Amino acid sequence: MNLSEVLNAINYDKTPLLNDDLYEKEYVPFVVNRSLSYFPDTILHANQMNFANHLPKKMQFDYLRFSIRPRKRFSKWIKTKEEKDLQLIKDHYGYSNERAKEALRVLTSDQVEKIRSLYDYGG
């Protein structure tokens, strides 16, 4: 069972997937709730299941399956933008992600280029 099967069962075809114990073990409510949170008509249902995370997985799945109206919903995962010089600053100064982002805002392009040249071994 993959995520697209679960989302299709909740969003569109309403098939009862979690009748089998194997499917219930593979069901990850957090990932399902996160993928449903991208749509205005399902965000409140996903949030409700985040509050009711103590419920069994089958009950959470059934709530989403029966309460969400059938519709095709497609979205891409929102990913953080990776800055190319972030890892360079982290290695050079020993900073964390947040601290390196702050340093990148302060450093000039000449300073970043100088740091880059220190780690450029060629080849």
The tens-digit pLDDT sequence of the chain (123 residues) is 788 888 888 988 888 888 877 778 888 999 999 999 999 999 999 999 999 999 999 999 999 999 999 998 887 766 665 677 888 889 899 999 899 989 988 999 899 889 988 887 765
Please tell me the distance from the alpha carbon of residue 98 to that of residue 8, in angstroms, as a whole number.
Answer: 37
On whether both 25 and 56 belong to a single domain, the answer is yes
Q: Does residue 103 fall inside a structural domain?
A: yes
Instruction: Give the structural domain span for 32.
Output: 3-67
Nearest to 45 by CA among 79, 21, 71: 71
Structure tokens at 96: 């964390």
On whether both 63 and 104 belong to a single domain, the answer is no
Q: Does residue 90 fall inside a structural domain?
A: yes
Please tell me the distance from the alpha carbon of residue 92 to that of residue 65, in angstroms, as a whole number.
Answer: 50
Q: How far apart are the first and last CA of the chain?
A: 45
Crossing angle of helices 86-93/97-106, nearest 10°?
100
Extract the runs of DSSP E, i.e. beta strands, from the chain. none
Q: Does residue 45 fall inside a structural domain?
A: yes
**How many domains would you assign to the chain?**
2
